[in-house]
Amino acid sequence: MAKYNTHRTPGRAHTPAGNTARGLGGAAVLGTVLVGTAFAGSSAQAAPAAPAAPAAPAAQTAPATPVATAPTAALDTSQKLRWGSRGDTVQNLQATLNESGAGISEDGVFGPRTHSAVKDFQSSKGLQVDGVVGPKTFGALNGSATVPSGGASAPAASSSSGSSSIVDAARSAIGTPYSWGGASMGGMDCSGLVNFAYKAAGIDVPRTSGQIANGGRWISQSQAQPGDIVAWSGHVAIYAGNGKIIDASGSKQQVVERSIWGNPIGFVTYR
């Protein structure tokens, strides 16, 4: 029986299949593992990660500084305020009244609600209740007035210079044509004449006859002084003294000086 020839050529190395690797330059490398770029017998160890830095403590928030609330500014007492007055001083007045619980709009317009709030305040302080904010009421609102022990104080007498200024201004308008809604030498109605004359004395009064009558303080004829106002229903005039008035007459169509006529409903003062 023939036998297979299992002899190998002498001197020839026998390399098991699958275990041959090629090294650099094509030379056979037996049983060698290439790691990275070096011929090493074991894998390279990765450098351990640096420990994480401890978290910084949360920043401390400084406590908020309390905001101081400024007190209401002292009211300007250089002018009287009454029904019909307007502006920043009226708005400050309304804010001060609200601090006493008035609950009115701070719109800078002295209207019926402000007028009522002023009278309530005056009553609570024992002042003359007339709805006009003069020196005593200003003082009480500013916290500096002394409440009189004997009740309401007597009204301050008007200065002769102020009364003269009002009457003189009214007389200067005699002959001016009657013009409904007017308040100048070009033409004026009854309330326009009152505004014109009082403005000459540096006093603000409401614009219409009804507002003028309701904005001041009612007095008797025996108390009336030149410069005060005589009121009828729908008409007002400047009292000139000695039973005389100066008014813008619709019937005569001009400003005239004459005796008190008809039946006025009363006398009003802004003193």
HEC letters along 153-182: CCCCCCCHHHHHHHHHHHHHCCCCEECCCC
Q: What is the largest CA-CA distance in the chain?
A: 175
Range(s) of the chain covered by CATH 1.10.101.10: 88-141
For the chain, the residue count is 271
- Strand 229-232 and strand 183-184: the pairing is unpaired
State yes or no: pLDDT of 30 exceeds 60: no
- Please choose, from the candidates 55, 118, 32, the residue with its C-alpha nearest in 3D space to the C-alpha of residue 83: 118
pLDDT digits (tens, 9 = 90+) for 77-136: 566 888 888 888 888 899 999 988 899 999 999 888 898 898 888 888 888 787 888 878
Q: What is the predicted pLDDT for the residue at 86? A: 87
pLDDT surpassing 60 at residue 8: no
Do 134 and 145 touch, CB atoms closer than 8 A?
no
Residue located via tokens 């802004």: 270
**What is the C-alpha to C-alpha distance for residues 216 and 184, in angstroms, rounded to an integer?**
22
**How many Cα atoms within 13 Å fall on the side-chain side of residue 257?**
15
Across the chain, mean pLDDT equals 75
Query: What is the phi/psi pair of residue 37, to 5°?
Result: -115, 5
Fold of domain 160-269:
endopeptidase fold (from Nostoc punctiforme) (3.90.1720)
Which pLDDT belongs to residue 77? 55
Is residue 90 a contact partner of residue 70, using CB atoms and an 8 Å limit? no
Residue 264 has pLDDT above 80, yes or no: yes
Q: How confident is the model at residue 185 (pLDDT cuts 50, 70, 90)?
A: very high
Location of each CATH 3.90.1720.10 domain in the chain:
160-269
Q: Is the pLDDT of residue 55 over 70?
A: no
- Contact call for residues 35 and 43 (beta carbons, < 8 A): yes
What architecture (CATH level 2) is domain 88-141?
A: Orthogonal Bundle (1.10)
